[in-house]
Structure 1
Amino acid sequence: MVRHPELFSLAIAHIDCDAFYAAVEKRDRPELRDKPVIIGGGVRGVVSTCCYIARIYGVRSAMPMFKARKLCPQAVVIKPDMTKYAAVSRQMREMMEALTPLVQPLSIDEAALDLSGTATLHGAPPAIVLTRLARRVEAALGITISIGLSRNRMLAKLAAERGKPRGFFVLGREAEDVLANERLGLLPGFGPALVKKLEARGIVTIAQLAALDRHEAAKLGHDGAALVARARLQDDRPIRPERESKSISAETTFETDIADRAALEAELWPLCEKLGRRLHREDQAAAGLVLKLKSADFQQRTRSQRLPAPTRLAETIFEAAQPLLAREADGTKFRLIGIGAAPLAPAALADLGDLADTSTPRRRARQEAIDQLRARFGEGAVQRGRALRPVKGKG
């Protein structure tokens, strides 16, 4: 049962599948229903997701697998089957698009919906339509979802997180009071570094940041006003239907196999530059990276990582890819290396920087100057030091 004075007037929703990968596996293997399940694998891998039973033991997404196994040795560990999960995700998306054309997928198991003006079409307000969707998903797909309903995207997402699992949570006019004493890390975009910087200024809660006036906000840097607006729970982002995210990548095959880490990095750098140019041309940014390596015996390795913030700067891409490469440079001889951007993000969100990251805007300005020179005088007009290769026969 859900009771709220604005229940039948709010229309912005956030849908989040509960422990998605694990839920799909339990659906297909009923004998696992009451057992802890971890989706991941390998000793050096990380937990992709885990069921709520495993979470009782302290297992969490992104946790190293060795730690997860130590916390919950009785867990059933299953390697991710992305093809299967993507198929279920497409089925869910079709169900959502039957309710409104304004569906924006945010990840394989999350989406934002705008149900404004659909009451006449469905003969019921958005809240009722969403409860029907939850029942339909559970009956047809065998998984559960959590629903957040509010006046904007950010609040709808926060509402969905408060109701999990299998929840329906509403945040209306009372949101400011409900969230006032929450710590800043609850808000999207407030990472650990930014929160630490704000806490050093004595700003710990959402209400404290929201109370800053225009002059005080300016002291937080060029992004100060936006941070305060977020703390005031303001979010004017529209819900835009988009095609499923694609990836953009660049790769190269070596003339001779390479095992040395420094030599592999030398091959990786020009690919990062190429990827940056392709992202710019496609008006996209990288929200995550995928490193691809193929060994001399044609065994392929792919390693992925989400980025703290979207980027299309070659320098940032390279620095994020280096640790991924370092873990794989174990003496194996490789014949191919590639770097890709997946998932993608709108270019408008790329390389903005914030109070805790003042170097990114400078990097962006430097790259723009380099691009202008190259456009005028050719690609070889400006080269970074790491792009220079030693001349054969020279030290």
Structure 2
Amino acid sequence: MTQSLSPIRALCRDCGTRPPQGSARCPRCGSPRLVSHPELDLLSIAHIDCDAFYASIEKRDNPDLQDVPLIVGGGQRGVVSTCCYIARIYGVRSAMPMFKALEACPQAVVIKPNMEKYAKVGKEIRERMRALTPLVEPLSIDEAFLDLTGTERLHKATPAETLAGFVRDLETDIGISASVGLAPNKFLAKLASDLEKPRGFSVIGAAEAKAVLAAMPVGRIWGVGKVFQKKLEKDGIRLIGQLQEMEAADLARRYGSIGLRLARLSHGDDSREVTPSRGAKSVSSETTFRTDISSFETLRPILRNLSEKVSARLKKSELSGRGITLKLKTAEFRTITRARHLQDPTQLADKIFAAGEDLLQAEADGRRFRLIGIGVSDLEPADRADPQDLIDPSAERRKNAERAVDKLRDKFGKSAVELGLIHAARDSRRRDDG
């Protein structure tokens, strides 16, 4: 970004005024919500994250809930999907077992998730983001990276001013608040958006990145999950500052390719670009039969086999998804699609198949089909997938069993472990090939 922009580096988030740096309040509207930073007008990579998204929508739609602790969750899973910031004061957190959440905050109101409503609002917010810049990279239903480089002439404003106006309009027009992180790259922007939630607007500049990161735990680095964090802690590495003091070659010897990534990110270096399309919008697999099939019992193992393929592709791509879509094509070449939206994203064949099986059972009414397919959409990073199911203890056992099978297949090949259902699918196809 050019240096010809206004030298004033403070911004009122509530009215857009550019007060002198060092002002405690906006001279125009009196708001104390000012953001001031030496690099404020030089940065253009942002991460926008809606605040307590599901709970905010429910409070917007029911004003009686505005000042009460609200939990969105429960249902079959028995866990908290999200909660408002009032509930968080009492210690309620996402993914917490519902009984623990209600022990911590017994006066909370509990609402079951309405994913269709949330998806509709999320789509509207996404379209507003794309009006700011074509470079929007969604991470989930309520958050995305944006690259506003070169948009000053279009919006007649710096990226910081454009982003402040965007979140103001979200609150006014849609009734949802969001937090913004502004930085020189995606990694730092994502960290910045978490610093002052809710309704935050935080900046991490290039000059200060290393110092800001030094005091943070290693778990704040993108890609460092709980298991790897424990491994690092076992090796005596708890803070990002400790990684900064280590040589990249040493980290690579210890941890392989991820060690090189740790070396770069610990210094705030991230060369990833904001990409409008994060690869495929869905992952799917389908097959066409030589002979039309009408029997549910014959279609079922074939669907299981396809679910295994989709699951393997998701795991390989480090993705998961909430949307499950069954595709059928009748003997008359009519295409039928049926969909289900899961509460949590998954990458497990067991859950993909279970949802697809329910959809198939409703359609297998004697009609003959020449094609069947299964797909997963609404893709999200793999680290969000398949939280523990406290209502169905066997779900965790099935998850662990599937992971064990994956390891055996990685080591000995896919044919090393096959389910009876998949054998049935192969036998059925052999009979069809007759």
Q: Which residue of 2 aligns with 1:74?
A: 107
Counterpart secondary structure, 1:54 = helix
What letter is aligned with 1:208? Q
Task: Name the TM-score, length of structure 1 as normaliser.
Answer: 0.73
Deviation at 1:64, TM superposition (A): 1.7
Quick one: structure 1 residues 361 and 212, their matched pair in 2 at CA, closer, same or farther if it must change by over 3 Å?
Answer: farther
1:179-230, Cα deviation, whole Å (9 max, x unpaired): 2021101122111110111111111110111222133112223222122222
Task: Indicate yes or no: 2:281 matched with 1:248.
Answer: no
Per mean C-alpha deviation after superposition, the further-off stretch among 82-91 and 164-173 is: 82-91
Asked if 1 retains the 8 angstrom alpha-carbon contact of 2:140 and 2:379, the reply is no
Quick one: structure 1 residues 362 and 80, their matched pair in 2 at CA, closer, same or farther if it must change by over 3 Å?
Answer: same
Q: Which residue of 2 aligns with 1:260?
A: none
Q: Which residue of 1 aligns with 2:223?
A: 189
Q: Distance in 2 between matches of 1:191 and 1:235?
A: 18
Quick one: structure 1 residues 120 and 17, their matched pair in 2 at CA, closer, same or farther if it must change by over 3 Å?
Answer: same
Quick one: structure 1 residues 99 and 292, their matched pair in 2 at CA, closer, same or farther if it must change by over 3 Å?
Answer: closer
CA RMSD for the aligned pairs? 4.1
Q: Which residue of 93, 113, 123 corresponds with 2:156? A: 123
The within-5 A match list for 1:54-69 is: 54-69=87-102
Structure 2: runs of 5+ lacking an equivalent: 1-33, 288-292, 327-338, 365-372, 383-402, 428-434
Quick one: structure 1 residues 41 and 362, their matched pair in 2 at CA, closer, same or farther if it must change by over 3 Å?
Answer: closer
Counterpart secondary structure, 1:63 = coil
Q: If you compute each CA radius of gyration, which structure gives the higher value, 1 or 2?
A: 2
1:323-362, Cα deviation, whole Å (9 max, x unpaired): x97xxxxxx9x95899753443699xxxxxxxxx9x9899
Q: Which residue of 200, 212, 230 corresponds with 1:178? A: 212
Task: Indicate yes or no: 2:250 matched with 1:199.
Answer: no
Q: Distance in 2 between matches of 1:346 and 1:203?
A: 25
The within-5 A match list for 1:63-212 is: 63-172=96-205, 173-212=207-246
Quick one: structure 1 residues 61 and 18, their matched pair in 2 at CA, closer, same or farther if it must change by over 3 Å?
Answer: same
Deviation at 1:305, TM superposition (A): 4.4
1:296-321, Cα deviation, whole Å (9 max, x unpaired): xxxx99755446xxx7xxxxx44x75
Q: Distance in 2 between matches of 1:388 and 1:284?
A: 26
Asked if 2 retains the 8 angstrom alpha-carbon contact of 1:22 and 1:37, the reply is yes
Q: Which residue of 1 aligns with 2:255?
A: 221
Asked if 2 retains the 8 angstrom alpha-carbon contact of 1:27 and 1:143, the reply is yes
Q: Distance in 1 between matches of 2:148 and 2:423?
A: 55
Q: Which residue of 1 aligns with 2:26?
A: none
Counterpart secondary structure, 1:143 = coil
Counterpart secondary structure, 2:132 = coil
Task: Indicate yes or no: 2:379 matched with 1:344.
Answer: yes
Task: Indicate yes or no: 2:270 matched with 1:235.
Answer: yes
1:57-94, Cα deviation, whole Å (9 max, x unpaired): 11111112222222222111111112211221122122
Deviation at 1:167, TM superposition (A): 0.8
Quick one: structure 1 residues 44 and 117, their matched pair in 2 at CA, closer, same or farther if it must change by over 3 Å?
Answer: closer
Asked if 1 retains the 8 angstrom alpha-carbon contact of 2:409 and 2:417, the reply is no
Counterpart secondary structure, 1:8 = helix
Quick one: structure 1 residues 138 and 306, their matched pair in 2 at CA, closer, same or farther if it must change by over 3 Å?
Answer: same
Task: Indicate yes or no: 2:28 matched with 1:10.
Answer: no
Quick one: structure 1 residues 60 and 245, their matched pair in 2 at CA, closer, same or farther if it must change by over 3 Å?
Answer: farther
Q: Which residue of 1 aligns with 2:55?
A: 22
Deviation at 1:164, TM superposition (A): 0.6
Percent identical:
47
Quick one: structure 1 residues 200 and 88, their matched pair in 2 at CA, closer, same or farther if it must change by over 3 Å?
Answer: same
Structure 1: runs of 5+ lacking an equivalent: 258-263, 294-299, 312-316, 326-331, 348-356, 371-381
